[in-house]
Chains A and B, each alone.
Chain A
Amino acid sequence: MTINELQDEIIEEFSAFDDWMDKYALLIDLGNSLLPLEDKYKNPQNIIEGCQSRVWLNAELNDGIITYQGESDAVLVKGIVSLLIRVLSGHTPDEILNTELYFIDKIGLKEHLSPTRSNGLVAMVKQMKMFALAYKSVIS
């Protein structure tokens, strides 16, 4: 699936819920089922410090495809991390760099990515793109 198809799929899943608490319950489930990041990747280089919660992010390049792994100490943040990984992982650096992430806004979780929420997520999205940029230069 393309990145946008994945984004649309998530929008579809979340559209089943009107109530905020139901959306958050789904996010909590996603957060709880996110594979924990191996301890060796939880190093100071991979940490993205937010004011409220912390996010760790790692990325690997295999055969021109980027795989992301991430984790957070807050489960709601972890839920969003898992969504971001689902959307962006398994794609080429170019595909990732040319993506506009619209699903977070569409599923009503934009507030978590607003700069006023200092939870490290804005920095995480930026860092995901930075990894893509760095790996792009490795390939070319």
Chain B
Amino acid sequence: MNKEQLQHIRADFPILTEKIYNKDLIYFDNAATTQKPRCVVERIENGYYHLNANIHRGVHYLSQKATEAHEAARTSVAEFLHAAKREEIIFTRGTTEAINLVATSFGEAFCKTGDEIILSVMEHHSNIVPWQMLCERKGMKLRVIPMNERGELDMEAYKSLLNEHTKIVSVAHVSNVLGTINPVKEIIQIAHSHTIPVLVDGAQAVPHIPVNVVELDADFYVFSGHKIYGPTGIGVLYGKSNWLNAIPPYQGGGEMIANVTFEKTTYNELPFKFEAGTPDYISSTALAEALRYVQEIGLDKIAEHEHELLTYCTEKLMEIKDMRIIGTAKEKSSVISFLVGNIHPYDMGILLDKLGIAVRTGHHCAQPLIDSLGIPGTVRASFAFYNTKEEIDVFIDALKRVVKMLS
């Protein structure tokens, strides 16, 4: 990406010109949420101003228009993930709700006392707690794939965890703390050789790398809209139709039914079976716009630019004395977690903030991972395609100043 292209892109994100404590905002907290391009915000505005009517079943013009937009968004997501069928795309409130849906409905249909679920040590709480809740309900056990010192999953240990009690494997595509890109295709192949399905938490992957769910052969793939330049409160569950047909509905209500009497309700077909209540049709269409925007720039181009930022920042960080990068996997996305000497991450984060730099500190909702590393947390800088090397230079200077103050 050349300078001019980058300038054009940055102009699409009005928030990037904000001043924080009279300093230029440097936003390096993209793994938590991304900023929104003008076109996405305009799509939301346009939705409420011109396209607002409750969808499906409405006979009037506006309802049909809104329905078309919502269903077109479903098609966009299906194409984005290269899903085989559009009805395999379920809109949820986000990654968390999508995992809860699968943990609940899949658990209801297929799990019993003594069964096991395999996760990895680097999971976000949202890919731990729903499964733990299922384990408590059913008397099941979590098994955890360990990792090596670089933050790469131990595939041999993974193989040894699979057994006749394993019901599902659920792993992150990309770690939100370490940036590790996990070999999910291989993980899926191995699980499938034991006829065990796999859920992939793609929250940190879809904004950065092209995803093809058919090629991966994922049984479930989930992500959040707000992490890929879309609105908050919308997310996606992709599920192979045979699985989605085989598991019961998650929530009951309007939309998800075929026929209701007080004696018995029959459920609607996919995808509506899993979309109880009025869906967020404004956000779904805005998410589709975000995906269009990202694809227009090109995910390959995005990945290339972000990789450059990752390499550049890593090199610059290593110049700082007592720097410790947490997560040095060979395959890594644009997330850098680090610590300097014995300085507490909270102290670094607070001071960097006062210099206009937004990074995240703490356990990043992955306490088991942080505990396993024996550290109090990390400082995490995470990049998006609108970030620049110049911003990294400012960040490094600020960090040096902060480290000096704190050591």
Contact = CB atoms under 8 A, between A and B. Distances in A.
A75 B354 contact: no
A57 B350 CA distance: 22
B354 A24 contact: yes
A79 to B, nearest CB: 9
The residue among B349, B355, B376, B406 with the most chain A CB atoms within 10 A of its own CB is B406
Interface in B320-366: 343-347, 349-351, 354-355, 361-363
Interface in A39-64: 51-54
A21 B398 CA distance: 11
A111 to B, nearest CB: 9
A73 B403 CA distance: 16
Contact of A75 (B21, B344, B361, B363): B344
A88 to B, nearest CB: 23
Given A51-B362, A52-B362, A52-B377, A24 B405 contact: yes
B361 to A, nearest CB: 6
Contacts of A20: 21, 354
Contacts of A119: 346
Contacts of A25: 405
B377 A75 contact: no
Contacts of B355: 21
A74 B354 CA distance: 17
A104 interface: no
Contacts of B406: 28, 75
Interface residues of A, number: 16
Contacts of A66: none
A76 B351 CA distance: 9
Contacts of A52: 345-346, 349, 361-362, 377
A56 to B, nearest CB: 14
A76 B347 contact: yes
A81 interface: no
A62 B319 CA distance: 52
A24 B351 contact: yes
A74 B349 CA distance: 11
A21 B376 contact: no
A74 B344 CA distance: 5
Contacts of B347: 28, 74-76
B66 to A, nearest CB: 36
Interface in A10-36: 20-21, 24-25, 28
Contacts of A51: 362-363
The residue among B343, B346, B349, B354 with the most chain A CB atoms within 10 A of its own CB is B346
Interface string A70-106: 0001111100000000000000000000000000000
Contact of B351 (A21, A53, A73): A21
Contacts of B401: 21
Nearest to A24: B351
Contacts of A112: 350
B354 A21 contact: yes
A134 to B, nearest CB: 29
Given A20-B21, A76-B350, A53 B344 contact: yes
Contacts of B344: 53, 73-75
A76 B355 CA distance: 16
B200 to A, nearest CB: 28
Interface string B3-26: 000000000000000000100000
B337 to A, nearest CB: 15
A64 B343 CA distance: 38
Interface string B208-239: 00000000000000000000000000000000
Contacts of B354: 20-21, 24
Contacts of B345: 52
Given A21-B405, A73-B344, A76-B346, A53 B376 contact: yes
A24 B347 CA distance: 10
Contacts of A24: 350-351, 354, 405
A47 to B, nearest CB: 13
A107 to B, nearest CB: 14
Given A21-B401, A112-B350, 8 more contacts: A24-B354, A51-B362, A52-B346, A52-B377, A76-B346, A76-B347, A76-B350, A77-B346
13 contacts: A20-B21, A20-B354, A28-B406, A51-B362, A52-B345, A52-B346, A52-B377, A54-B376, A73-B376, A74-B346, A74-B347, A76-B351, A77-B346
Interface of B: 21, 343-347, 349-351, 354-355, 361-363, 376-377, 401, 405-406
Interface of A: 20-21, 24-25, 28, 51-54, 73-77, 112, 119
Q: Which 3 pairs, one residue from A and one from B, show the smallest C-beta to C-beta distance?
A: A74-B344, A74-B346, A20-B354
